[in-house]
Chain A
Amino acid sequence: MDKLIEMLQQLVNGVSLGSIYALIALGYTMVYGVLRFINFAHGDIYMLGAYAGFLLAPIFAHTFKFGEFDTFTPQNTLFILSGAGLIMILSMAICAAIGVLIERIAYRPLRERPRLNVLITAIGVSLFLQNITQYRLGADPKAFPQLIPVHVVEGLGNLTILTSQLAIIIATIILLIILRFVVMKTKIGLAMRALSLNPTACSIMGVNNDVVISFTFALGSALAAAAGILVSMDSPSINPLMGNLPGIKAFVAAVLGGIGNIPGAALGGLIIGILETFVVAIGFPQWRDGIAFAVLIVILLFKPTGILGRVEREKV
């Protein structure tokens, strides 16, 4: 029975971690879907999301009484969640704007050029974001303010799930549902899907490709920002380089699920999160970061199209 509880525990931990990776992975996969381009700087949007929360929280701290609650009670839950939710939404909006700005300035001018050029530009953007943050806000880790009270969820017996983990999982589910709605049921979502299949046909049919691409970047960046806020609620130390590892692991997740495939990204994120948690649980903590790279290599060597991906044939 204990073993079962233990496994369930690790599963929850893995799902919580995986949700973060999933949110970030979605941005990679959507941008790749419409542009066939890996946005190296995406992981740093996640970092900026966390920092946006860090800078915004003090402004609303008084109104929403951040850090003043010790536990969730039926009376304060709504209030707490609206406070945290506001910070998250604001952060998402800011990062969406940043994402659109980056695309406009650094990537759009290179759309006709060989893809190598824009890959390198993306690396440049990534380094720039990291280092400018480091320069302006310091390289040392900062303490993310407490937006929600973090404690073990009551009534689950031996299962230790933190409120922050629950928040991550629930928020991710909500965001995924919203995303699915946007992608499947709105006109712009349809345009995104069409663009990923055939950009030329799209523009002929009257779609403004630029607008759709900007929207895609906005969407992906918003999700990454959400991930940044959520992860900081759980693990409140943020630093300018925090986007590197999660960024690359999320990319692996996107590839694992099939790059360009939205459900695939979510699936991939969960798998990577669970794998990473189990690797640590069975006693190899030093390999927790290496496991994602190992998965990457295995996937790219044996099934580059990923679990749910599509094959793309070059026309000769």
Chain B
Amino acid sequence: MSRSLLSLTFALLICASISFFGENFIASNFAYYYDILISIGVNIILATSLNLVNGYTGQFSLGHAGFMAIGAYASASWSNHLDPVIFGITGGSGNPIATNAAMFVSMFFAGILAAIAGFAVGVPSLRLKGDYLAIVTLGFGEIIRVAILNTDFLGASRGLSVAGTYTNLFWTFGSVVLCAYVVLSLVHSTYGRGFLTVRDDEVAAEAMGINTTKYKVVAFVVASFFAGVAGALYAHFKAFITPEGFNFFRSVDVVVIVILGGMGSTIGVAVAAVLLTILPEALRALAHTQFVPQAYQGLLENRLILYSLLLIVLMLTRPQGLFGDGTAFKKWFGRSRVN
């Protein structure tokens, strides 16, 4: 096994250990923070995967939530209908081996389905330039949402209950590790430089023999896969999903994280995900302290007003986000090379 894969396995084992020994302790005593932790994990996966498309490849996708929705509903349906059959799990509980195997399969199925959708959407759409691509991806995201809304089998507007809250720290952060590994390994290779050329200058990239559409589709499919995985994690955490939870605003949420993190840096985007997951909670807590006059409490709680101002101000003053293209990180961690 190559050295890189070995490192990956090692990291996953660490996640497993933390989960195995600490899960119940954290979940019971720090329930509120446990929730935030899982949310952070989900957002990191969404943001780092979208960063591959929006950041490294320079395409503007506004439909990420749509693929998350596909993953969520796919894994939910799988668990609801097939877990009792395959794993002998009833009502979402069973022995640990069965539930974890069920979760793995469910997540994998979610990712694959989302990836297939990503391919189906990507191939025709990625020929389009900037603004058009944004609108088409937004359109696809909405179509997916509307389709789910009109599908009785998936609970339509009533929502869907998910049997089995299998999501735990291992699956969440294991997926984070895997997602980061995939994105970073892809980008930091000669092949990965191809993504960046597509971002910088498509005409020049084509002239250097790079099939720009193929690279865009690859990025899109990989990103969609992980959006699906994130959806599966989300579904098996909340135990109840509705189409509204995967609307345009959710896509915008992820886009804001990617922009804040600086579109060329995986680490930057991950940090931004942490910050922006904690921010609304922190603001909510702050609003209820005595520092904030009554009149402004509502404003603080209204995340979207602040988000929108953040977007505008960020674009006007620091469009490269907090961390730009990650050169700051590179200086700290030393030049990251293929070997």
* B138–A286 CB distance below 8 A: no
B23 part of interface (Cβ distance < 8 Å): no
Main DSSP-derived SS at the A contact region: helix
* A117–B305 CB distance below 8 A: no
Q: How many residues of A contact B (CB 8 A)?
A: 42
Identify the A interface with B (CB < 8 A). 37-38, 106, 109-110, 113, 115-121, 123-128, 130-132, 134-135, 244, 248, 251-252, 255, 286-287, 289-290, 293-294, 296-297, 300-301, 304, 314, 316
Show 7 residue pairs from A and B whose CB-CB distance is below 8 angstroms, ordered by the A residue.
A38-B131, A38-B134, A120-B259, A124-B312, A126-B308, A127-B304, A135-B299
Q: How many residues of B contact A (CB 8 A)?
A: 39
Residues of B contacting A124 in the complex (Cβ-Cβ under 8 angstroms): 307-312, 315
In the complex, which of the residues A110, A131, A294 has the most CB atoms of chain B within 10 Å of its own CB atom? A131
Taken together as a complex, chains A and B put the C-alpha atoms of A291 and B46 apart, in Å, by 28
Taken together as a complex, chains A and B put the C-alpha atoms of A115 and B133 apart, in Å, by 13
Q: Which residues B126-152 have CB closer than 8 A to chain A?
A: 128, 130-132, 134-136, 138-140, 142-143, 146-147, 149-150
Residue of A nearest to B133 (CB): A300
- Our pick among B142, B308, B319 for the contact of A131 (Cβ within 8 Å) is B308
B252 part of interface (Cβ distance < 8 Å): yes
Write the B245-282 contact mask toward A (1 if CB under 8 angstroms, else 0): 00010001001000100000000000000000000000
* B143–A251 CB distance below 8 A: no
* A110–B146 CB distance below 8 A: no
- Our pick among A126, A134, A300 for the contact of B125 (Cβ within 8 Å) is A300
Taken together as a complex, chains A and B put the C-alpha atoms of A248 and B132 apart, in Å, by 13
B60 part of interface (Cβ distance < 8 Å): yes
Residues of B contacting A113 in the complex (Cβ-Cβ under 8 angstroms): 319
In the complex, how many angstroms separate the beta carbon of A156 from the nearest chain B beta carbon? Answer: 35
In the complex, how many angstroms separate the beta carbon of B84 from the nearest chain A beta carbon? Answer: 31
Residues of A contacting B22 in the complex (Cβ-Cβ under 8 angstroms): none
Main DSSP-derived SS at the B contact region: helix
Residues of B contacting A293 in the complex (Cβ-Cβ under 8 angstroms): 139-140, 142-143, 146
Taken together as a complex, chains A and B put the C-alpha atoms of A294 and B143 apart, in Å, by 8
Residues of A contacting B305 in the complex (Cβ-Cβ under 8 angstroms): 127-128, 131-132, 135
* B312–A128 CB distance below 8 A: yes
- Our pick among B136, B146, B255, B302 for the contact of A300 (Cβ within 8 Å) is B136
- Our pick among B130, B135, B302, B308 for the contact of A251 (Cβ within 8 Å) is B135
For the A-B complex with A117-B319, A316-B203 known, give 5 more contacts whose Cβ atoms are closer than 8 Å: A123-B311, A131-B302, A135-B298, A293-B139, A314-B203
Taken together as a complex, chains A and B put the C-alpha atoms of A118 and B310 apart, in Å, by 14
- Our pick among B135, B138, B142, B311 for the contact of A127 (Cβ within 8 Å) is B311
In the complex, how many angstroms separate the beta carbon of A43 from the nearest chain B beta carbon? Answer: 12
B85 part of interface (Cβ distance < 8 Å): no
Q: Which residues B204-219 have CB closer than 8 A to chain A?
A: none
Residues of B contacting A300 in the complex (Cβ-Cβ under 8 angstroms): 125, 128, 132, 135-136
* B315–A121 CB distance below 8 A: yes
Residues of A contacting B91 in the complex (Cβ-Cβ under 8 angstroms): none
B316 part of interface (Cβ distance < 8 Å): yes
* B134–A304 CB distance below 8 A: no
* B316–A287 CB distance below 8 A: no
* A127–B252 CB distance below 8 A: yes
